[in-house]
Amino acid sequence: MYFYENLTNLMYNRNRDIIYEKEGVMNFEKNAQVGNAFLKEVAIELGHPEDIKRAGRVLRSTLRVLRRKISPEEYLDFISQLPMCIKAVAVDGWKLNQFPDRSIRNVEDLIEAVMDEDARSAENDFGDENEAKEAVGGVFRVIKRHISEGEMEDLEAELPKIIKDFIQKS
């Protein structure tokens, strides 16, 4: 039941991140601007401020791997604080049977899974594993600026200690 209540909250926005122009009328352009600003922040953090598409692929890959590792309820709580357009990316194509992914036990597994998720673009987006680790760390740095400390603690509580340490040091 908890999962469906959170999903309903996400879909019908009891959170305050959807921007309304008038009472009850969603301003899609403004929501897109907020999402694009978030992607721009990721692009700057990755050291390529002009490459918004790359930032989107790296963010998407990181979020998709994260959703396989933590419980659906916690994932919904976590993304509820992200901009609406980023939430859409975070849940796009989600299959609940992918949880939990027990193959992700350490930072190397996490980085490899993110690179695999990025598939055809991984070589261009990440280069080698060290560059990928820095890119994933950059995504977490941006996320931490937008997610409450308590929610980050809840998220980290579901991860192996070594991955939790990686996120905290990012």
36-49, pLDDT tens digit by residue? 999 999 999 999 99
What is the reported pTM?
0.82
| HEC string for 22-84 | ECCEECHHHHHHHHHHHHHHHHHHCCCCCCHHHHHHHHHHHHHHHHHHCCHHHHHHHHCCCCH
Give the whole-angstrom CA distance, residue 138 versus residue 41: 10
Confidence tier at 163 by pLDDT (50, 70, 90): very high
Does residue 21 carry a pLDDT above 50? no
Question: Which CATH number among 1.10.490.110, 3.30.1330.100, 1.10.3720.10, 3.30.470.20 corresponds to the domain 2-169?
Answer: 1.10.490.110
pLDDT of 12 reads 42
Confidence tier at 25 by pLDDT (50, 70, 90): low
User: For the chain, which residues make up each domain, given as ranges?
Assistant: 2-169
